[in-house]
Structure 1
Amino acid sequence: MKNFALLNSVAWAALVWAAPVMAQDDGRARGQCYVTGSTETPDAEQLLCYPGEEILVSASRDGLLGRDSFTGSALVISAEQVEDRQTRDVADILRDVPGIAVAGVAGQTQIRLRGSEANHVLVLVDGIEVSDPFAGEFDVGTLQAEPGARLEVLRGQQSALYGPDAIGGVIAYDSATGRARPGFSARIEGGTDDTVNGALRYGASGESWDAALSAVVVSTDGQPNARGGTRDIGRDSYTLAGKGSVAVGDAVTLRAAARFIRTEGQTNDSDFDPASPTFGFIIDSPGVAFTNEAVYALAGARLGTLDGRWTHDLSAQIANVSRETDSPFGITSASEGDRFKVSYVSALNVADAHNLTFAADYEVEGFRNATPGGFVFDERREIEQVGLVGEYRYTGEAFDLTAALRHDINDLFRDATTFRVGAGYRLTESTRLRAAAGSGVKNPGFFELYGFVDGRFIGNAALRPEKSTGWEAGIDQQLGDNASLAVTYFDSELDGEIFTTFPPPNFIATPANRTTTSTQRGIEVALSARLAPQWRLDAAYSYLDAEENGVREVRRPRHIASTALTWEAPGDAASATLVVRHNGATPDVAFTDPSFVPVRVSLDDYTLVNLNARVKLNDSIAAFARAENLLDEEYEQVFSFVSPGRSAVVGIEARF
């Protein structure tokens, strides 16, 4: 492989530094954090802290907030659920989270949370910010699921903790540590469309250290993605990642994580001939392809004092992302983005119930439009930012309170202050009420400030940051011993939304801030139930009303629902999972007018049915099969991009 040297460098760096994300260190305030599993289902791992409370890694800057004490809306997708649904693309399982809308095409998969824009969602992978500084968002289609990985999704404004990019919420993906999932894991599968996927993982640990290394390959020839097209759109994606930790003495823990992702694939262009009957539609475009490549790394050290009640954490992380689109005539677009970030977090636990946290972030993002030809702005630009965070949490037997305040000092924009407050109250042992309110901010990106292609998209250096405020109220209800229900109502407003306008007399596309307010309101429902010893049901539903000046926002369906039903044979000898996902009718825009002023269209609703099964051949080896889009539904997530039809794979996996 032409990237073999780089892959090895990333892997060895991760193993030498040997460290996980901050929240999975062993030494924590108030005691020990560890990962536990079930003897019957060893993949059902949970991150727990003394005295056995599951925590949310991303819900606090100190990484030690009990899930039952969180005053906002969160959903954890466990490693068991990821593997039960045979998830390969993380974007697929995110469709099962209330409030998330996914829209994917070749080379770009976007996630929108609670009606926000795709660049309003902060994505963390093993504690590293992974968005492309040039595009301002993360292509979640490049994130492949590793054995043992878990996810957290925080819904609602989280800028008070993380600054810009977290208006809609936070998605945190955590690969398993060497201590959580020791030994060797492997899987290989093949199927329709010449699909071949594989994964390797090795984890190990000692008394004072742990380390894990994984590799994932996804390769497919794909299917046509243009209406009436015949050109298959395939891709090859490679991921190599490593992380671990080492304790130095009784009080210091060093950690590191690194990841390399490369995706190569085909794509299609729009028809730009105004005389063509398919003008503005996606058409077969032989020779058009894309390449996305990213390198991420994090290193940090943690010091525990006062018997672990006062911790100090210092970390540094980098991200380098490059994207390129090619045609038979050469490179048609290219961009480079990089980020360097240093964070210091100091957390003090007072009398068990009170927690005070201070955090400081220094971040520099750089970006350059690398498209050749002399018709683009290709100078390198940088944005520098300092963020200061104060956080307080109170955790009582019946009442919980959280508050956070952040001040961001920007070199290009006005300084911004954001907040988040929340409270929870346990009416009974089975009923808990919660409410939260917060604000968020999103700075304009390079693409919007400086443009992309002269004569087609002109930048606007006078743009101001987008600002959001919102609140939510919810109830968490335990239904007997084997089921739980969470219902949340939310209401948010976005001011100064950045959109594309086409001003006269030339009608050339350029961004601007809206003078009206956009609103996002809705209801989210999540149900988890053990129907019988061998049956488990997970279901989610979202209703969203997202409008700008009375007009529905695009790519935000009103109704999204999913259901996953899993059966497990006694002794985990076999299992099967049926997943049904429904996406309601969705407004979108089409550039079918020669003026390039967008025309509003409506995409039909669709329902996808996936079915998979697994059979253990012995204690270490299992065979499995999976069918996706079983009913061969025809649907579009983006105007005139046809999504894949029915596909099937079979494979074998081993764990030693």
Structure 2
Amino acid sequence: MKKYVRLGGAASAALIWCAPVMAQDQGTEYLYPEPAERPEVLVTASRIDTEVETGDYTGSASVITPEQIERRQVRDIGDVLRDVPGIAVSSVAGQTQIRLRGSEANHVLVLVDGIEVSDPFGGEFDIGTLQAEIGSRVEVLRGPQSALYGNDAIGGVVAYQSARGRDAEGFAARLEGGTAGTINGSARLGLAGERWDTALSATVVSTDGQPNSRPIGGGERDIGRDSYTLSGKAAADVTDTFELRAAGRFIRTEGDFNDSDFDTTAPTFGFIIDSPGTRFENEAVYALAGARLEMLDGAWSQDVSVQIADITRDSFNAFGRSSGSEGDRLKASYVNAFSIASSHFVTFAADWERERFRNNDPFGFASATRQKIENVGLVGEYRYAGERLDLSAALRRDINDRFANETTFRIGAGFDVTESTRVRASAGSGIKNPGFFELFGFFDGRFIGNEDLAPEKSTGWEVGIDHSFELGDTKIGVTYFDNNLENEIFTTFPAPDFTATPANADTKSQRSGVEIALFSRIAPQWTIDAAYSYLDAEENGVSEVRRPRHIASAALGWTHPGDAASATLVVRHNGAAQDLAFTDPSFVPVRVTLDDYTLVNLNANVRLTDGIEAFARVENLFDDTYEQVFSFVSPGRSAAAGISVRF
């Protein structure tokens, strides 16, 4: 076990020794039942910087609560996102991607404590590096959100929020061990005074791993991973109307990976093979500082914030470092919001952003010039929250120093037909600028950039209905959506040398589908959550890759009458999907089909004393063999057990 793992495990043990999804959706999803007196709210649903109750939201959104994350024993946030309708997750060593409603992975904006965390190099965030901290929660907004958040938000927004100090004061920690040399630990300290609060958290996720190549490629090398997260956030009320806040996060992930066989004469050409010595090291630093001033008894607020993201990536082979990249982002935002009669909300917001990128190639094949892009976004938003009718509208103008200026919009309406039935509809547009990798390439001779690329653009709409049944506390939501993507960026392999290079497609990509979510309390101590997504995503009549038509999940939960124990059985099904395989000597990809698969997970916890619990879980209970990406074999059955404490 690496030095960091030994230190992390020892630190977690010392802390313990020394210590004296209801995911509700306005598209209605419930992953865990919550007390009725605690309505779910969305922080990211508006730039107004006030919480929006899910019952007032005009689009489709889900909230994954701290209770859900704890009861399902979630360690990687990407895992629990598999239970949210509309999301497809694909994971390999060193990269976990999420696709929302058929979007590309880099079309999903990911926020962590309000900070944009995507890597400017590839334009997306590896959700596999986001570890579940004690007390954290997640919000998911589906559908185009560029009118509020600008670039990257074509498919939607995933927002992770760590707990504030006053949300859960005191000390909490967990430590577990399991198969494949797994040692995971997390500790959190929350402190709060009359006018301030702060929280500090440390998380370690480590495993020796399992093989991820097929038997034809060896199938024996274990692919291990170690991930370390240190985070903190604080807020202070300087006066009754003036608040200061700050958040910071450091993530380091290091792990093994297997490479493809590039020998065109080998029978394993294009397949993943055991590759001793290949590994990666990624580090990211994120920080945010902000201030908020409220006037007129809170009816008028002004908020300013500055945030940074600094990401470095390095890959290694048996001979040393083989590639690397550096990306950073600096962003400043100003939000000026008014509320009128507690039902009308008007907001003006302005964002300035600068992204930079540099290849850090040890061989000098790729250009080391630091490239940059600057953007200014101006946002206007109106929201009406009535007794039965809710309306929203947003307009954004982005002024970019490299691409043409763009305007995006979002409108929505929701109406409570009865006390138990609500209908809603929304429409919007989104934009995604090309990433630095697509613009400037990586290794000359292997992938050539295209500086003439145009931004990708999307427009879409949705309609939905939500209904609650008194019998059995049952809730169901159904949403139909339809999105069109123009200028989709894809990789071409032009003759005669077939060198990979990106280009904009001339045709539209059509994405439409249905999302269904059901929650029911089938007995006093039993609940069931179910979600189903149907997706039809095609480019010029050809199915888009890694987007299953059918995704479904169901979770059966039991809680002891005295809350002394609980158990959850989760079943997840991914339908068959298309993918690309580079098994032709020309290096032009061929299409293959990934088989469907169904996974079963089971977990349970028991309260030993006040503040101390024991827990255990089994994932992939029936040890199914499956691939989320062509030729990458996903992990088989695993088990873990541990203990958690709270003081």
Do both proteins adopt the same fold according to a TM-score greater than 0.5, normalized to the shorter chain?
yes
- The TM tier, using the shorter chain, reads over 0.9
Q: CA deviation at 1:53?
A: 4.9
Q: Which amino acid counterpart does residue 598 of structure 1 have in structure 2?
A: P
Hey, what's the Cα distance between the residues in 2 that align with 1:144 and 1:167?
A: 24
Tell me which residue corresponds to 1:338: 328
C-alpha distance 397-45 of structure 1, shift in aligned 2 (>3 A): closer
Note if contact 1:257-1:298 (Cα within 8 Å) is conserved in structure 2. Answer: yes
Tell me which residue corresponds to 1:556: 547
Q: CA deviation at 1:62?
A: 2.0
Tell me which residue corresponds to 1:504: 495
Hey, what's the Cα distance between the residues in 2 that align with 1:567 and 1:495?
A: 46
Give 3-state SS (helix, strand or coil) of 2:180's partner.
helix
Give 3-state SS (helix, strand or coil) of 2:438's partner.
helix
Equivalent of 2:56, from 69, 78, 82?
A: 69
What pairs up with 1:510-549 in 2 under 5 angstroms? 510-549=501-540
Hey, what's the Cα distance between the residues in 1 that align with 2:247 and 2:546?
A: 34
Tell me which residue corresponds to 1:87: 74
Tell me which residue corresponds to 1:640: 631
- Indicate yes or no: 2:309 matched with 1:314: no
Tell me which residue corresponds to 1:260: 250
Give 3-state SS (helix, strand or coil) of 2:85's partner.
coil
Tell me which residue corresponds to 1:374: 364
Give 3-state SS (helix, strand or coil) of 2:248's partner.
strand
Could you say what the CA RMSD is over the residues aligned between the two structures, in angstroms? 1.5
Hey, what's the Cα distance between the residues in 2 that align with 1:483 and 1:80?
A: 19
Aligned residues: 616
- Indicate yes or no: 2:591 matched with 1:605: no
Equivalent of 1:406, from 396, 415, 419?
A: 396
- Indicate yes or no: 2:374 matched with 1:359: no
Equivalent of 2:135, from 138, 142, 148?
A: 148
Give 3-state SS (helix, strand or coil) of 1:80's partner.
helix
**CA deviation profile, 1:245-274 (whole Å, cap 9, x unmatched):** 100111101000100000110000000000
Hey, what's the Cα distance between the residues in 2 that align with 1:106 and 1:44?
A: 35
Note if contact 2:48-2:345 (Cα within 8 Å) is conserved in structure 1. Answer: no
For structure 2, list consecutive stretches of 5 or more residues without a partner in the other structure: 9-31
Tell me which residue corresponds to 2:164: 177
- Indicate yes or no: 2:232 matched with 1:245: no
Q: CA deviation at 1:571?
A: 1.7
Equivalent of 1:210, from 187, 197, 206?
A: 197
Q: Which amino acid counterpart does residue 512 of structure 1 have in structure 2?
A: A
**CA deviation profile, 1:512-567 (whole Å, cap 9, x unmatched):** 00000000000001112222221122111100000000000000000000111111
- Indicate yes or no: 2:176 matched with 1:189: yes
- Indicate yes or no: 2:40 matched with 1:54: yes
Q: Which amino acid counterpart does residue 41 of structure 2 have in structure 1?
A: I
Q: CA deviation at 1:484?
A: 1.3
- Indicate yes or no: 2:65 matched with 1:78: yes
Q: Which amino acid counterpart does residue 59 of structure 1 have in structure 2?
A: A
- Indicate yes or no: 2:565 matched with 1:574: yes
Note if contact 2:107-2:153 (Cα within 8 Å) is conserved in structure 1. Answer: yes
Q: CA deviation at 1:45?
A: 8.9
Note if contact 2:329-2:356 (Cα within 8 Å) is conserved in structure 1. Answer: yes
Hey, what's the Cα distance between the residues in 2 that align with 1:242 and 1:483?
A: 38
Hey, what's the Cα distance between the residues in 2 that align with 1:181 and 1:609?
A: 32
Q: CA deviation at 1:378?
A: 1.6
Q: CA deviation at 1:44?
A: 6.0
Question: What TM-score, normalized to structure 1?
Answer: 0.92
- Indicate yes or no: 2:466 matched with 1:476: yes
Give 3-state SS (helix, strand or coil) of 2:417's partner.
strand
Tell me which residue corresponds to 2:381: 391
Hey, what's the Cα distance between the residues in 2 that align with 1:551 and 1:63?
A: 41
Hey, what's the Cα distance between the residues in 2 that align with 1:313 and 1:365?
A: 22
Hey, what's the Cα distance between the residues in 1 that align with 2:386 and 2:212?
A: 54
Q: Which amino acid counterpart does residue 80 of structure 1 have in structure 2?
A: E
Hey, what's the Cα distance between the residues in 1 that align with 2:524 and 2:299?
A: 40
**CA deviation profile, 1:356-397 (whole Å, cap 9, x unmatched):** 011100000011111111111221001000000000001111
**CA deviation profile, 1:382-429 (whole Å, cap 9, x unmatched):** 100000000000111111110000000000000010000000111000
Tell me which residue corresponds to 1:25: none
Q: Which amino acid counterpart does residue 498 of structure 1 have in structure 2?
A: I
Q: Which amino acid counterpart does residue 281 of structure 1 have in structure 2?
A: F
Equivalent of 1:492, from 474, 478, 483?
A: 483
Hey, what's the Cα distance between the residues in 2 that align with 1:301 and 1:93?
A: 32
Q: Which amino acid counterpart does residue 43 of structure 2 have in structure 1?
A: V
Note if contact 2:56-2:390 (Cα within 8 Å) is conserved in structure 1. Answer: yes
Q: Which amino acid counterpart does residue 195 of structure 2 have in structure 1?
A: S
Hey, what's the Cα distance between the residues in 1 that align with 2:398 and 2:247?
A: 26
Note if contact 2:40-2:63 (Cα within 8 Å) is conserved in structure 1. Answer: no
Note if contact 1:45-1:79 (Cα within 8 Å) is conserved in structure 2. Answer: no
C-alpha distance 45-444 of structure 1, shift in aligned 2 (>3 A): farther
Equivalent of 2:440, from 450, 463, 483?
A: 450
Q: Which amino acid counterpart does residue 360 of structure 2 have in structure 1?
A: A
What pairs up with 1:121-140 in 2 under 5 angstroms? 121-140=108-127
Q: Which amino acid counterpart does residue 537 of structure 2 have in structure 1?
A: A
Question: What TM-score, normalized to structure 2?
Answer: 0.94
Q: Which amino acid counterpart does residue 509 of structure 1 have in structure 2?
A: A
Q: Which amino acid counterpart does residue 154 of structure 2 have in structure 1?
A: I
Note if contact 1:84-1:566 (Cα within 8 Å) is conserved in structure 2. Answer: no
Give 3-state SS (helix, strand or coil) of 2:220's partner.
coil
Tell me which residue corresponds to 1:324: 314
**CA deviation profile, 1:554-609 (whole Å, cap 9, x unmatched):** 00000000111111101210010101110000100000011110000000000110
Tell me which residue corresponds to 1:30: none
Give 3-state SS (helix, strand or coil) of 1:179's partner.
coil
Note if contact 1:45-1:78 (Cα within 8 Å) is conserved in structure 2. Answer: no
- Indicate yes or no: 2:199 matched with 1:199: no
Hey, what's the Cα distance between the residues in 2 that align with 1:252 and 1:44?
A: 32
Q: CA deviation at 1:3?
A: 8.4
Q: CA deviation at 1:483?
A: 2.0
What pairs up with 1:617-656 in 2 under 5 angstroms? 617-656=608-647
Tell me which residue corresponds to 1:222: 209
Note if contact 1:44-1:79 (Cα within 8 Å) is conserved in structure 2. Answer: no
Q: CA deviation at 1:243?
A: 0.6
Tell me which residue corresponds to 1:466: 456
Note if contact 1:57-1:63 (Cα within 8 Å) is conserved in structure 2. Answer: yes
Q: Which amino acid counterpart does residue 285 of structure 1 have in structure 2?
A: S
Tell me which residue corresponds to 2:273: 283
Q: Which amino acid counterpart does residue 506 of structure 1 have in structure 2?
A: D
Note if contact 1:537-1:563 (Cα within 8 Å) is conserved in structure 2. Answer: yes
Mean alpha-carbon deviation: is it higher for 554-563 or for 56-65? 56-65
Q: CA deviation at 1:104?
A: 0.4
Tell me which residue corresponds to 2:14: none
Q: Which amino acid counterpart does residue 338 of structure 1 have in structure 2?
A: D
Q: Which amino acid counterpart does residue 251 of structure 1 have in structure 2?
A: T
For structure 1, list consecutive stretches of 5 or more residues without a partner in the other structure: 8-40
Give 3-state SS (helix, strand or coil) of 1:210's partner.
strand
The percentage of aligned residue pairs carrying the same residue is 68
Hey, what's the Cα distance between the residues in 2 that align with 1:528 and 1:345?
A: 37
Note if contact 1:315-1:342 (Cα within 8 Å) is conserved in structure 2. Answer: yes
C-alpha distance 45-177 of structure 1, shift in aligned 2 (>3 A): farther
**CA deviation profile, 1:280-310 (whole Å, cap 9, x unmatched):** 0000000000011100000100000000011
Q: Which amino acid counterpart does residue 223 of structure 1 have in structure 2?
A: Q
Tell me which residue corresponds to 2:16: none
Note if contact 2:264-2:585 (Cα within 8 Å) is conserved in structure 1. Answer: yes
Tell me which residue corresponds to 2:12: none
